[in-house]
Amino acid sequence: MDIAIFILSGLVIAVAAFIFGQLYATKIRVAKRIREAEDEAKTILNSASVDAENLKKEKLIEVSDEWYRKKQDFDEQTKAIRAQTKNQQDELLKRERNIEQKGDLVTRKEKDFLNREQLLHSKMEETIKKNEQLDAMIKSENEKLEQMARMSAEDAKRVLMSNMTEKAKQESAQAVRNIKEQAQLTAKEQIKNVLLQAINRTSMDHTIETTVTSIKLPSNEMKGRIIGREGRNIRAFETITGCEILIDDTPNTIVISGFDPIRREIAKMALESLITDGRIHPGRIEDVVEKAKRDLDELIISTGEEALFEVSIHGTHIEIVKLLGKLKYRTQHGLNLLQHSIETATIAGLIAAELGFDVQLAKRAAILHDIGFAVDRTDQHHAAAGADVARKYGENATVQLAILLHHENPTTAHPIAVIVSTANMLSKERPGSQKNALENYLKRLHKLEEIALSFPGVLKAYAIQAGREIRVLVDFNVLDDNKMMILADDITRKIESELEYPGQVKITVIREYRAVDVAK
């Protein structure tokens, strides 16, 4: 029994020791984990502290950069404000000096006026004294005359007054005649000097537009490409542009012939573009010609602006600028109208300056005086058409009047109209400036086209081959093939009855039908 108790006690003690050992080991592990956790917490805290410090430094740097940038912006703004303030101060000082100078000038003029007033008073007093002396002398002479003639004072007075009146009339008439003669001589001399100065100070070349334009080719092979298979390219080009292409044996050269300078310029631009591009066929020709028309419109506006800038005219309506640019491609008696207008404006400005009139108004009226020539197809005289254009686009009434009267002798009109008319004659009537043969030729070609366009159903008409042929394009919806023959006969009869021309004129009527669709 004792042994059993002893064994049981030993087992109890062993179990208790085991449990105590496990508890002690657990305690040690827990303590170790606690230490590790504390170490890890310290590490985390340290790392967080370092990150916080780094973040703080970064933010401080960003704030510092932002402050520096704002400081620079503020410094620049301050510098600009200071510069502006300095400029304003300088301007104020300049104005103040100008005011002081004007004040000094006014003071000097006031002193001069006072001096002149005193001089006038002294002269008036001297005149009064002389008049009193003259009255005394007249009285004395009257008394002597009365004594000599044994007439009464009243009779002597009447005789004396009659004699003095007649003498005064004769002297006055002679003085007026002398003044008129002197004024006429002086005016003639002054006019001669003004006109001579205006002519001498304007030197401008006049280029006479012809009816052909030459184009250089990169090689003779290009002639064949321009002609195209069975001539389709050249026919399409001539039909679209209204100009004729002349191809001969001249190496690397072809000629565009057409009386209308604008059409000829469009044809030239289009053909040069086709030659450069290399793709030449009817469809491409039509596109390039349309592009050339748009490019020429821009060139015309640029030309008009350059002409206005050359004579220092500003604030002109864009439509007037376009019409002025078109004058580069218009001629009258072989005279380029744009160059003529610029020269007329220059002469008018010089004359106005010499005579003391508004120079800008004179130049404005002068450069626009032939603007009516650029108006397409009007039955009005170009002066009336130009005046209507000026009125439509808000030009000054004086400018309108000067344009309307520039071919007349407006001696009773506004002085600007007289100046413009004179400048126009000086520019146009100088020896060698005009050639009537070309002008008459161009008028005949214009008349040919106008006759064809006067018939219903006609879309376009082009006079080609120096007026020996006119090509008429008609609307296929209006005229059929039978009516085309009637139209050709009617045009022929009207040309024969209204025009005088050498040789024969061939009338070619073309009716073309096109079916166009777009694939989408």
Q: Is residue 293 part of a domain?
A: no
* Count helices and strands in the chain by DSSP H and E runs: 14, 8
Residues 456 and 414 in one domain: no
Residues 2 and 143 in one domain: yes
pLDDT at 162: 66
Residue 462 has pLDDT above 70, yes or no: yes
Q: What is the mean pLDDT of the chain?
A: 77
Q: How confident is the model at residue 209 (pLDDT cuts 50, 70, 90)?
A: very low
pLDDT at 11: 78
Q: Is residue 261 part of a domain?
A: yes
Q: Is residue 11 part of a domain?
A: yes
Count up the domains in the chain and report the number: 4
Q: How confident is the model at residue 84 (pLDDT cuts 50, 70, 90)?
A: confident
Residues 119 and 20 in one domain: yes
Of all residues in the chain, what percent carry a pLDDT higher than 90?
0
Between CA 41 and CA 39 the distance in angstroms is 5
Of all residues in the chain, what percent carry a pLDDT higher than 70?
79
Q: Is residue 156 part of a domain?
A: no
- Write the CATH number for 255: 3.30.1370.10
Residues 236 and 345 in one domain: no
Highest mean pLDDT among 96-110, 177-191, 331-345, 449-463: 449-463
Q: How confident is the model at residue 207 (pLDDT cuts 50, 70, 90)?
A: very low
Q: How confident is the model at residue 204 (pLDDT cuts 50, 70, 90)?
A: very low
**Which structural domain range is residue 85 located in?**
1-150
Phi-psi region of 281 (alpha: psi -120 to 50; beta: other; left: phi over 0): beta
Q: Which of 409, 434, 459 is the last residue of a domain?
A: 434
Residue 391 phi, psi (nearest 5) = -65, -40
- Write the CATH number for 355: 1.10.3210.10
Q: Is residue 193 part of a domain?
A: no
pTM of the model: 0.47
Which CA distances in Å does 178 have to 49, 171, 175? 116, 10, 5
Highest mean pLDDT among 106-120, 180-194, 439-453, 477-491: 477-491
Residues 217 and 330 in one domain: no
pLDDT at 203: 45
Residues 227 and 249 in one domain: yes
Residues 143 and 1 in one domain: yes
Residues 135 and 14 in one domain: yes
Residue 442 has pLDDT above 60, yes or no: yes
Q: Which of 415, 434, 453 is the last residue of a domain?
A: 434
Highest mean pLDDT among 144-153, 254-263, 440-449: 254-263
Per-residue model confidence as pLDDT tens digits over 373-413: 888 755 678 888 888 888 888 888 888 888 888 777 655 56
Residues 393 and 255 in one domain: no
Q: Which of 150, 165, 181 is the last residue of a domain?
A: 150
Q: Is residue 221 part of a domain?
A: yes
Determine the average pLDDT of the residues in 46-67: 82
pLDDT at 365: 83
Question: H or E element: which one contains 240?
Answer: helix 232-241
Q: Is residue 85 part of a domain?
A: yes
Determine the average pLDDT of the residues in 495-510: 80
Residue 193 has pLDDT above 60, yes or no: no
Least confident of 30-34, 164-168, 416-420: 164-168
Which CA distances in Å does 448 have to 271, 349, 382, 441? 26, 39, 19, 11
Determine the average pLDDT of the residues in 174-201: 55
DSSP string, 417-449: HHHHHHHHHHHHSSTTS--HHHHHHHHHHHHHH
Q: Is residue 320 part of a domain?
A: yes
Q: Which two tokens stand for residue 415?
A: 């002085």
pLDDT at 26: 82
Residues 47 and 126 in one domain: yes
Between CA 334 and CA 330 the distance in angstroms is 9
Highest mean pLDDT among 85-99, 118-132, 177-191: 85-99
Determine the average pLDDT of the residues in 181-189: 57
Residues 28 and 138 in one domain: yes
Asked if 374 and 326 touch (Cβ cutoff 8 Å), the reply is yes
Residues 454 and 421 in one domain: no
